[in-house]
Amino acid sequence: MNRPVARQEVAIFHDPERKTSAAWFRTVLGEPVEFSGEAVGAVADDLTTITRWDLTTGAAVGGNLLGQRLVAVPIVATPWGGWLAAH
- One-letter amino acid identity for 35? F
pLDDT of residue 30: 86
pLDDT of residue 64: 93
pLDDT of residue 68: 94
At 14-35, the pLDDT tens digits run 888 888 888 999 889 888 888 8
pLDDT of residue 63: 95
Point out the residues of the chain with pLDDT beneath 50. none
**Residue in 1, 20, 9, 19 with CA at minimum distance from that of residue 73:** 9
pLDDT of residue 83: 84
pLDDT of residue 72: 94
